Amino acid sequence: MRFPIEVHNKFIPVSGFSWMTWLVFCFTRKPKDVHLEGTTRRHELVHVVQQGELSVLFTVILLPIAIHFSFAWWAWTLVILGILFAGWICYGISNAIEFFCPPFGKSYYYTCWETEAYNHEDDPGYLRRRIPIWGSLKHIPNRLVRHK
Ligand SMILES: [Zn+2]
């Protein structure tokens, strides 16, 4: 099985986007005979790795909180939602930060997640030499953004 796993559907992602990654799945509204290839596959694969790392990080942070609160229902909910949507949560937070900081109007491209994915989507060997977590964090400075 090749990752990310394509999910063709009628609703996700919203208009204006062609593919949207969630954990190991990549959603598209494109016809079933259109597949992830080359540059786009490598781009989305970077997002799969980013989201996997963030899910592990959220597990390490949230699980002790749930244990501390004796596994109350809300603590379990927090842990499960946090693990499943760690990537989207961090993506949303960094998008909001970029939205309120210059340069304005391009917050999507200026998140470290997109900067990393766009900067390395042409490099087939990138994920093999990438340092976990640091691969994303080092792309926080906006001067590293090549795709505009
Ligand atoms: Zn992307």
Residue 142 binned pLDDT confidence (cut-offs 50, 70, 90): confident
Q: Considering its fold, how many domains does the chain have in total?
A: 1
- Give the pLDDT mean for 65-77: 92
pLDDT number for residue 96: 94
The alpha carbon of 71 and the centre of ligand 1 are apart by a number of angstroms equal to 35
* Sequence-ordered list of residues with C-beta below 8 angstroms from that of 86, at least 6 positions apart, any chain: 51, 54, 55, 57, 58
The alpha carbon of 142 and the centre of ligand 1 are apart by a number of angstroms equal to 16
| 123 assigned to some structural domain | yes
The alpha carbon of 23 and the centre of ligand 1 are apart by a number of angstroms equal to 13
More confident: 71 or 48: 48
Alpha-helical segments (H) within the chain: 38-68, 73-84, 86-99, 107-110, 112-120, 126-129, 134-137
| 26 assigned to some structural domain | no
The alpha carbon of 108 and the centre of ligand 1 are apart by a number of angstroms equal to 9
The alpha carbon of 37 and the centre of ligand 1 are apart by a number of angstroms equal to 14
- CA 133 to chain centroid, in Å, comes to 12
| 80 assigned to some structural domain | yes
- CA 27 to chain centroid, in Å, comes to 13
| 108 assigned to some structural domain | yes
Verify cis geometry, omega within 30 degrees of 0, for the bond prior to 4: yes
The domain of 132 spans 46-139
pLDDT digits (tens, 9 = 90+) for 12-42: 999 888 999 999 999 999 999 999 999 999 9
**Residue 25's beta-bridge partner residues?**
5, 22
| 103 assigned to some structural domain | yes
| 144 assigned to some structural domain | no
| 94 assigned to some structural domain | yes
pLDDT at residue 131 is higher than 80: yes
Nearest to 3 by CA among 50, 38, 32, 41: 41
| 35 assigned to some structural domain | no
